[in-house]
Amino acid sequence: MNTVHIPASTPYDVRIGNGLLGSLGDTVKVLCPKAGRCLVVTDDTVGPLWLKKAAEPLSAAHIPFSVYTLPHGEASKTAEKLVDILNFAAAEHLTRADVFLALGGGMVGDITGLAAACYMRGVDYIQLPTTLLAAVDSSVGGKTAVDLPAGKNLMGAFWQPRAVLCDTDALSTLPQADFLSGCAEVIKTAVLFDAGLFALLEQTGPAFDRESVIARCVAHKRDVVAEDERDTGRRALLNLGHTLGHAVEAESGFALTHGQAVAIGTAVVCRAAAKNGLCPPEVPVRVDALLEAFGLPIRTDAPFDGLMARMLSDKKRAGDAIGVVVPETIGRCAVRPMATDEAAAFMKAGL
């Protein structure tokens, strides 16, 4: 087992290893000794596969629990479902001392974290990520959210979990397409911070050692969150590939997975950086080759104007400039503020 300590405003450990769901009862007892009941939030894909593994240790530790099951998919990440979870928690008589458990991927983790932040002005929650994407990114760092009709993650809060238990056994039931989608975030982390990890992935392809690579990615995220928990500076680096990626994802009508869109966004920004003389030409060559080795797309045929309209709508939230995360070399990137025209011309060079 690997443990990564996250020194956030509320510190916690991320534990990564086989069979960790089996320690859930003890974890709740130790971290939340006053808890009289848990609320397990899951979805209708993960629940049938993994709920029993979470329920057994809770029962063995004599911790009563209630289960709320969401329909799977991003469409469930809504304010309506959030209120439904809160009403359910109230109907099940959860108190301020009780604990929410997020058993699932990014959608379940995000909405459960926000429900925990809101219920009775904040209760403890534990993340139990079952996808690679949740393991390496969304379960760590305390970003919680639901989507609004106007956009993704527009309603949310920073609310750190009490712990993250990443049971790598859960990855065994993950469909290959979802696993590869999560790999886009692993490759993103390597381009951002870790030339050694990038070289390792070039050797192993998707057969990399799950536990050690997840721990390595979480350790990089720890360094960012420790410095900029509330996303006012360095944490923006984690958006590598996401500025165009979100636009590509939306233009596809969400036919592309988040990871596929991030892969395209990362590839485009690397090609654009090289064409603009901001990184050596070998960077996009290696990034394109690695993404393709993981079966991830590196190009989009979405119309340029549509992509730019969506991409630059981000700018409204950031003031006059858009912060584009640009590679300087494999393992080091920087956020470059660009005016609208400059950002559009920059991306065009990489498409």
- The residues of the shown chain that bind ligand GLY, judged by CB under 6 A, are 137, 141, 143, 231, 235, 238
Contact of 112 with 102, CB cutoff 8 Å: yes
As a whole number of angstroms, the distance between CA 78 and CA 27 comes to 29
Quote the least distance from Cβ 187 to ligand GLY, whole Å: 15
Per-residue burial over 285-306, b = 16 or more CB atoms within 10 Å of its CB, e = otherwise: ebbbebbeebbbbbebebeeee
- CB nearer ligand GLY, residue 53 or residue 246: 246
Q: Which residue is closest to ligand GLY by CB? A: 238
Quote the least distance from Cβ 120 to ligand GLY, whole Å: 25
Quote the least distance from Cβ 225 to ligand GLY, whole Å: 7
Which residues, other chains included, contact 52 with Cβ-Cβ below 8 Å and sequence gap of 6+? none
- CB nearer ligand GLY, residue 143 or residue 210: 143
- CB nearer ligand GLY, residue 143 or residue 271: 143
Quote the least distance from Cβ 237 to ligand GLY, whole Å: 9
Token pair, residue 350, equals: 């990489």
- CB nearer ligand GLY, residue 98 or residue 229: 229
Which residues, other chains included, contact 268 with Cβ-Cβ below 8 Å and sequence gap of 6+? 244, 299, 300, 347, 350, 351
Pairing type for strands 321-329 and 332-339 reads antiparallel
Q: Which amino acid is at 235?
A: R
Quote the least distance from Cβ 25 to ligand GLY, whole Å: 29
Token pair, residue 52, equals: 């029993």
- Strands of the chain (E only): list them: 2-6, 12-17, 38-43, 65-70, 99-104, 124-129, 143-148, 151-158, 163-167, 321-329, 332-339
- CB nearer ligand GLY, residue 45 or residue 189: 189
Quote the least distance from Cβ 293 to ligand GLY, whole Å: 24
- CB nearer ligand GLY, residue 24 or residue 187: 187
